[in-house]
Amino acid sequence: MRKIALTMVLLIASLMAFASGAAEDDGSVITIWHSNSGRIGAAFETLVDRFNDTIGKDNGIRIEAIYQGAANDVLTKVKAAAAQDQSSLPDIAQMDATAALDMKNADYLVTAEETGADISSILPSAIEALNSDRGLLAVPFNCSSLLLYYNKTVFEEAGVEPPRTLDEFASIAEAISQKDDNGKIVRYAFAGVPTTYELGAFIGAQKGLSYMVDARNGHFGIPSKVLFEEEGTFRNFLEHWKSFYDTGYVANLTSGISDEFAAGRTATMLASSSNLSTVIATVAGRFEVGTAFVPAVDEEATGGVNIGGGALFSFSDSEGVRLVLEFLTSPESQLYWAENTGYMAINTLLYDTDEYKRFLDDNPQFAVAMEQTLSSNPEVVGIWLPSAYQIYYSFQSEIREVTENGKDIDKADSDMAGIIGRAIDEYRTQNGL
Amino acid sequence: MNRLIRILLTLMLALIVLFPLIYGFSASFFSPIDFTDSYAHMLPSDPSFRNYGLALSHRHFLRYVMNSTITSALTAALRIMVTLPAAFALTHFTFRGRKALFIMLLSTLFIPSDAILYENYATIASLRLLDTYAAIILPSVFSASAILMLYGALSSLDKDVYDAARIDGAGCLRYLISILAPLSQPYLVAIAIQTYISSFNSYLWPLLVTNRDSMRTVQVGLTMLGFAEQGERGAQFASIMVITIPFLIVLAFGRKVIMKSLSRGRDII
Amino acid sequence: MKGKSIQPYMLLLPAILLASAFSIMPFMRSLVLSFLRITPRGTIIGPAGFDNFISLFRDAAFRDSIMHTIIFIALFLPLNTFLTLLAAILTRRKRRYGAAFEYIFFTPLAVSMAAYAMIFSEMFRGRVSIINRIFGTEIIWLDSPMTAMATLVMLSVFLDFGLDYMLLLSSFRSIDRSMIEAAEIDGAGGLRMLFSIELPQIRPMLLVTVFMAAKDAVLISAPVMVLTEGGPFRSTETIMYYYYLEAFRSANVQAGRAISVMMVAISVLLMALAGRRRHE
């Protein structure tokens, strides 16, 4: 028994000894927390390996890339780390626009300018998406835009073109959907419930440029009021969306939409261009996948879409961080990244190269996102709000209430404005404004 | 008649209970297309071990399994090493503050660890222990119910043995290790099994305190393998089966022991 | 043993240190700080009275999360108790093949939370799910509030099934044989025996299982995280999932502390009830 006890003590001591995963922080390891999984994750790992084998090797630095779940999981991790032990922060974290407001106020953030990274050749609208009164918060990396994915085979059979507006969408809804012998819909025209991301485009594009809240959607200063209610942009969207829904061929799904699309149970969906390679792979040749511009709310909604996706937020200004940022946004990396994911290549030096042109020619679906972005008003930007999570769900449930339960559109509009207004007020109080 | 109903009910309930496992097992042999077909598959269209190959060759999966195995075993071992001496002190000694200390230890029964997640995270972070086994293990080493169980077991022991041993010149530690531990062995086994199961299954805490792949436990890791996003859902189910099947086997052979162990002390609370 | 030696204190030291560091102190800290006003950066401004609690209750999402937790418990507790008790009753006697069924009812013990949650999310995924195929339904389970809650309840039953079944089974088996034999001589049939002799005998254990399950149910968060992430429309957000979001994602630590204090109070209440029931 005594021997057993002694062995146990020794065993525990030895196990605890190699139990620490923390690397020595002498600046030679650049830690990146990211949210790339699946195909996108594999492409990211390849980029990391490339860096480690070339520039990294020459400069004695190495990237350690750690997957932390979805983009908002990365934000949770970053905030938890920052709140307690800032040394546990990574050097770089890849996050999306929901992180922007928190990061703008975070003293531990090192802005893109402060990292010294060369951003001169990055696409202006990608820069605009992250620009703020504090400067450029992060270096754009995985930029995407909202796209209309459609089942090209179905569209061709029905002899219709992708819709340019929601009204057009409503008029073709019947043609692209399908019922079985019992009259049950087996293929919807559209599946999904728009929320913050989609509304960024649906509201932002109206009258050429509209903001949901002041301070240019919260980018410059702290927003103080909701704009969409007095400008009627959300109401306008709801009206058009409601008549689209009333065709009876829209399924109000909030999850598993990609699967429905891949299985041919919905003819279209709105999704980020970043899903492109995954969608094509899941469809696995059962039909042809097409992509098109996001339908505008009405003829006057000409602003196009905002840039979504994510960016690299830095928490260290070391030389290594600068090298990594420049590597990941270099023409070569961005080309590889675009080819393998569906994100847009955002290094403008790339646009005139033959390689890039060939890639777009060969993959017209990938080219659409870029065309759409270049034809959009760069000032259409995503919204930065406190309580983004709550607002995301509120948009969906208001839209659902309007479409399914006949909630009054004006009421939904003012309720939504109320929810965002309260979130803003609370945030201002918390920050002593 | 009664008998028939009983048998039918039993069979039905057994089928319900087994269904998710059977489905998960079957899905671990699905090819990607089986998951997005126009009807839901129960059986794989083209069964192969490909998914198991993908699971086992995943960059981090085996490391996750190892981390879980080690941290759970360590938690169990440490819990015994902490609670046995404590229960020994509480049952075999009279000293000032005995009752107060006992009550203090038992008061933790009322504080669910989930309810103090944030403060514990803060403690671990300020000790610079994030991303270590210690972070995963430390908060769950002490368990008031384990103390309570051992307290019950040890107080029923004859104190004369201890007195005799002392006259014999046996030190208190030696008595603890060579006499008390063997005597309370069934209880120690029970504690070890209960602890192992609960720490192997814990999710939220390891998720919070690990930021690196090399430190993640398998419960957290399972949700981060990225197979589903890759269109390889089958591999996700293969990974689930890889960690579940060993437990099913252990359960098959050790059912009696485990049953006895788990029901021991549960009713004290 | 008498003596002024420090020995007992030394033996207790590790336990006391760990209990203080990871249970008592954190709770005390939560308790004290929840009544103070603290900036997001961690500077204490002054006393807050019940302000942290009041502002917590002013958040509709928190009030909703209480409602969701209550609904969850209301569905989970009866279903869980009924099914585990039924399984234990059906297999309480040792019979031919009995061991096989016992094993089957144990298997949920071998499957972890994350594993079950992932299997469930596939079983109930989308319109073309295996569950819909079996029952001929067209429900998109995880897409509407009521069915998502139902799925969460079913998942939770599986998570607790193995242990609860086992506890009930072993208490059935530990009933004094002579009582049963005496009743048999009196000619008591199976059902009468069950209701008049056996169930009253295992009542204390049944109550303990119910209270333990209630305590687990009040604290449910991890299955929510893996299965629904609180969705759709935050409709499966429970109190503890809300706590996780506030404390970690929104860095609203004060709200988190207020919840901690309330949850400990609830747990004390439940344990006290369980204790009293046991001693009756």
Does a structural domain hold residue B47? no
Look at B112 and C19 and tell me if their CB atoms are within 8 Å.
no
The tens digit of pLDDT for each residue in B183-195 reads 888 889 989 998 9
CA distance C145 to chain B (A): 22
Q: What's the domain count of chain B?
A: 1
> Does the pLDDT value for residue B211 go beyond 50?
yes
Contact status, residue B187 vs residue B150, Cβ threshold 8 Å: yes
- Rounded percentage of chain B residues whose pLDDT exceeds 70: 95
Does a structural domain hold residue B116? yes
Does a structural domain hold residue B54? no
Q: How many contacts, defined by CB atoms under 8 Å, are there between B and C?
A: 262
Say which range, A312-326, B68-82, C165-179, has the weakest mean pLDDT: C165-179
Q: Which residue has the higher pLDDT, C277 or C6?
A: C6
Contact status, residue B119 vs residue C30, Cβ threshold 8 Å: yes
Identify the closest residue of chain A to C40 by CA–CA distance.
Answer: A430
Helix boundaries (H) for chain B: 2-27, 32-35, 50-56, 61-92, 98-107, 117-126, 133-137, 144-155, 159-167, 172-175, 181-183, 185-201, 204-209, 218-222, 233-263
The whole-number pLDDT of residue B266 equals: 54
The whole-number pLDDT of residue C188 equals: 65
Does a structural domain hold residue B141? yes
Say which range, A235-239, A341-345, C82-86, C185-189, has the weakest mean pLDDT: C185-189
Look at B220 and C114 and tell me if their CB atoms are within 8 Å.
yes
Look at B20 and C123 and tell me if their CB atoms are within 8 Å.
yes
The whole-number pLDDT of residue C1 equals: 46
Q: Which residue has the higher pLDDT, B175 or C53?
A: C53
Query: At B2, is the pLDDT very low, low, confident or very high (cuts 50, 70, 90)?
Result: confident
> Does the pLDDT value for residue A260 go beyond 70?
yes
Q: Is B49 on the interface with C (CB under 8 A)?
A: no
Per-residue pLDDT, averaged over B50-73, amounts to 93
Q: Given the DSSP bridges, would you call strands A268-272 and A146-151 parallel, antiparallel or unpaired?
A: antiparallel
**Structural domains in chain C?**
7-47 (no CATH), 51-279 (1.10.3720.10)
Contact status, residue A99 vs residue A313, Cβ threshold 8 Å: yes
Query: At B6, is the pLDDT very low, low, confident or very high (cuts 50, 70, 90)?
Result: confident
Q: Given the DSSP bridges, would you call strands C44-47 and A139-144 parallel, antiparallel or unpaired?
A: unpaired
Partner residue opposite A69 with nearest CB, options B33, B38, B224: B224
**What CATH number should be reported for the domain holding residue B185?**
1.10.3720.10
Q: Is B237 on the interface with C (CB under 8 A)?
A: yes
Q: CA A31, CA A94: separation in Å to the nearest integer? A: 11
Does a structural domain hold residue B224? yes
With contacts defined as CB-CB under 8 Å, which chain B residues touch A66? 211-213
Per-residue pLDDT, averaged over A123-140, amounts to 92
List phi, psi (to 5°) of A164. Answer: -90, -30
Look at C234 and A390 and tell me if their CB atoms are within 8 Å.
yes
The helix or strand, by DSSP H or E, that contains position C78, with its residue range, turns out to be helix C60-90
Per-residue pLDDT, averaged over A222-240, amounts to 93
> Does the pLDDT value for residue B157 go beyond 90?
no
> Does the pLDDT value for residue B265 go beyond 70?
no
CA distance C234 to chain A (A): 7
A86 closest CA partner among B128, B75, C128, C89: B128
Identify from A73, A76, A95, A184 which residue to disrupt to test chain C contact, counting C C-beta atoms within 10 A and taking the largest count.
A76
Per-residue pLDDT, averaged over C73-93, amounts to 94
Identify from B72, B130, B174, B203 which residue to disrupt to test chain A contact, counting A C-beta atoms within 10 A and taking the largest count.
B130
**Structural domains in chain A?**
29-144+308-350 (3.40.190.10), 146-305+380-430 (3.40.190.10)
Q: Residue A217 — left, alpha, or beta (φ > 0 → left; ψ -120 to 50 → alpha)?
A: left
Query: At C277, is the pLDDT very low, low, confident or very high (cuts 50, 70, 90)?
Result: low
Q: CA B120, CA B206: separation in Å to the nearest integer? A: 12
Look at B126 and A68 and tell me if their CB atoms are within 8 Å.
no
CA distance C55 to chain A (A): 10
With contacts defined as CB-CB under 8 Å, which chain B residues touch C170? 259-260, 263
Q: What number of residues does chain C have? A: 280
Structure tokens, C204: 């204390």
Per-residue pLDDT, averaged over B159-174, amounts to 70
Per-residue pLDDT, averaged over C212-216, amounts to 88
Q: CA A36, CA C105: separation in Å to the nearest integer? A: 39
Does a structural domain hold residue B210? yes
The whole-number pLDDT of residue C44 equals: 84
The tens digit of pLDDT for each residue in B77-103 reads 999 999 999 999 999 888 899 999 999
Q: CA A196, CA A78: separation in Å to the nearest integer? A: 22
Partner residue opposite C126 with nearest CB, options A256, A387, A390: A256
CA distance A76 to chain C (A): 4
> Does the pLDDT value for residue C244 go beyond 70?
yes
Q: Is B173 on the interface with A (CB under 8 A)?
A: no
Does a structural domain hold residue B130? yes
Identify from C123, C129, C143, C228 which residue to disrupt to test chain A contact, counting A C-beta atoms within 10 A and taking the largest count.
C143
Query: At A255, is the pLDDT very low, low, confident or very high (cuts 50, 70, 90)?
Result: confident
Look at A265 and C125 and tell me if their CB atoms are within 8 Å.
no
Q: What is the mean pLDDT of chain A?
A: 89
CA distance A331 to chain C (A): 34
> Does the pLDDT value for residue C279 go beyond 70?
no
The tens digit of pLDDT for each residue in C125-157 reads 888 889 999 998 888 898 888 999 999 999 999
Residues near A66 by beta carbon (within 8 Å), at least 6 away in sequence: A31, A32, A33, A34, A90, B211, B212, B213
Full-prediction pTM beyond 0.80? yes
Gyration radius from chain A CA atoms: 23
A172 closest CA partner among A194, A203, A150: A150
Q: How far is CA B264 from CA A23, A93, C107, C165, in A?
A: 43, 47, 19, 14
The tens digit of pLDDT for each residue in A357-400 reads 999 998 888 899 999 999 999 889 888 888 777 788 889 989 99
Identify the closest residue of chain B to A88 by CA–CA distance.
Answer: B130
Q: CA C92, CA C110: separation in Å to the nearest integer? A: 21
What count of other Cβ atoms lies within 10 Å of the Cβ of residue C129?
A: 22
> Does the pLDDT value for residue A17 go beyond 60?
no
CA distance A392 to chain C (A): 9
The chains in contact with chain A, meaning 3 or more Cβ pairs closer than 8 Å, are B, C
Identify from C140, C227, C244 which residue to disrupt to test chain A contact, counting A C-beta atoms within 10 A and taking the largest count.
C140
Q: CA C61, CA C57: separation in Å to the nearest integer? A: 9
Look at B32 and A284 and tell me if their CB atoms are within 8 Å.
yes
Identify from C5, C17, C22 which residue to disrupt to test chain B contact, counting B C-beta atoms within 10 A and taking the largest count.
C22
Query: At A281, is the pLDDT very low, low, confident or very high (cuts 50, 70, 90)?
Result: confident
> Does the pLDDT value for residue A19 go beyond 90?
no
CA distance B9 to chain A (A): 35
With contacts defined as CB-CB under 8 Å, which chain C residues touch B206? none
Look at A393 and C234 and tell me if their CB atoms are within 8 Å.
yes
Contact status, residue A136 vs residue A109, Cβ threshold 8 Å: no
> Does the pLDDT value for residue A13 go beyond 80?
no
Per-residue pLDDT, averaged over A120-135, amounts to 91
Per-residue pLDDT, averaged over A53-59, amounts to 92
Tell me the CA end-to-end span of chain C in Å, nearest whole number. 34
With contacts defined as CB-CB under 8 Å, which chain A residues touch B214? 21
A96 closest CA partner among A119, A114, A121, A76: A76
Residues near B160 by beta carbon (within 8 Å), at least 6 away in sequence: none
The whole-number pLDDT of residue C59 equals: 84
| Domain range for B171 | 61-232+246-268
Structure tokens, C266: 């609830």
Query: At A11, is the pLDDT very low, low, confident or very high (cuts 50, 70, 90)?
Result: low
Say which range, A294-298, B25-29, B112-116, C182-186, has the weakest mean pLDDT: C182-186
Q: Given the DSSP bridges, would you call strands A178-179 and A185-187 parallel, antiparallel or unpaired?
A: antiparallel
> Does the pLDDT value for residue A78 go beyond 80?
yes
Residues near B106 by beta carbon (within 8 Å), at least 6 away in sequence: B144, B147, B148
Q: Is A385 on the interface with B (CB under 8 A)?
A: no
Q: Which residue has the higher pLDDT, C265 or B227?
A: C265
The whole-number pLDDT of residue C2 equals: 47
Q: Is C38 on the interface with B (CB under 8 A)?
A: no
Does a structural domain hold residue B148? yes
Q: What is the mean pLDDT of chain C?
A: 88
